[in-house]
Structure 1
């Protein structure tokens, strides 16, 4: 049995959710709260498996603040954000605050049950449009970070990186660039620090992805 705490400022919404959820024999609503502070107190007392938390509650503590505070007090708690806002800013802030998932209030009953079961099992759940937006944001961040880290490298460090990726030893790199082996090792150490990598294979993979060898993976 999955024990649920509902936190929403609208009594009618809480009533409707409770009626819907209690039709499932594997789910039980064990408590309700009308704002974040009350939700935190109820969660500490009742210890639910999942808190279904409304995002926007104008009277009292809002869902984002309550989620962040509750996760600090009960790190093991699973919080599913229930929102009317299909907005990536709210989504990212909720996840950063510790929410295990996010679902729209307009979602079908079956989807809500699926989301609750997912977060109760320790998995994450995002409604489809949120998944798409989160992936787009992640990929954009990866591209941005990749460009930034590469721009941190000096021309010599880029040369060393390329030669490492081509399989040359430190001695061979030193001979090609007419520098000492110790200088090559220094450049390699700087590369790893700037790119936040620890092994030679990581450097090779990075160089390939950056197209430094003339092909990509």
Structure 2
């Protein structure tokens, strides 16, 4: 058995990080080494790059980066890290998109932690667990973003946060021209013709929950 699993805890609320830390310490059969804690997306990615931990406990709606952005960076910089997300989002399509992002575990914030404690060994051994509370809320209908590439999804999330093309280009380390190409492709695939149409569509699909929900 592994001596100790390295862990990064990422949540913008200190009380939540404290609770997760206590939960890990309470695990009698497993040992954990909490190598870092983050309160925003940029700090999270920095810790992942530095430590490449065995486990990331991730709040998917933190400041400075969306859950999708963080997940993409984690898979890029530390593909072996097990990612367990915690969310209070209740919009079915948003939950379905998060689960589809290849996470190893997903749990609802505010629910009892016994399910997380019980299934954590399974996750660390290569299994996957989506909490019953998450499954109940998920929409079984088609994903409205299914035609978008991972990069287009990433650009879309940042566009919805209100950033301009130059700001998006700087954040993603690509050219403004490339950003414009992605935006044009996104609008064509979604059959939308203006920013106001895009924002209205995103609101109807629940995709603004990431910016509107304070978790």
Q: 1:115 to 1:5 in 2, by over 3 A?
A: farther
Equivalent residue, structure 1, for 2:69:
65
Q: 1:116 to 1:31 in 2, by over 3 A?
A: farther
Give the TM-score, by structure 2 length: 0.57
Quick check: which one's helix share is greater?
1
Q: Describe the SS at the equivalent of 2:83.
A: strand
Contact in 1 for aligned 2:91/2:137 (Cα 8 Å): no
| TM-superposed deviation, 1:18 | 0.9
Verify: 1:23 aligned to 2:22, yes or no.
no
Deviations 1:69-124 (A, max 9, x none): 21122222211110112332222222333311210112222212234323211111
Q: Where has structure 1 moved over 6 Å in runs of 4 or more? A: none
Matches within 5 A, 1:39-188: 39-57=44-62, 59-132=63-136, 137=140
How many aligned residue pairs are there?
A: 137
The higher-RCO structure (CA 8 Å, 6+ apart) is 2
Aligned-partner Cα distance in 2 for 1:17–1:60: 22
Higher Rg of the two aligned structures: 1
Aligned-partner Cα distance in 1 for 2:55–2:10: 11
- Which residues of structure 1 form unaligned runs of 5+? 142-217
Aligned-partner Cα distance in 2 for 1:116–1:36: 23
Instruction: Output the aligned Cα RMSD.
Output: 2.1
Verify: 1:32 aligned to 2:59, yes or no.
no
Verify: 1:9 aligned to 2:32, yes or no.
no
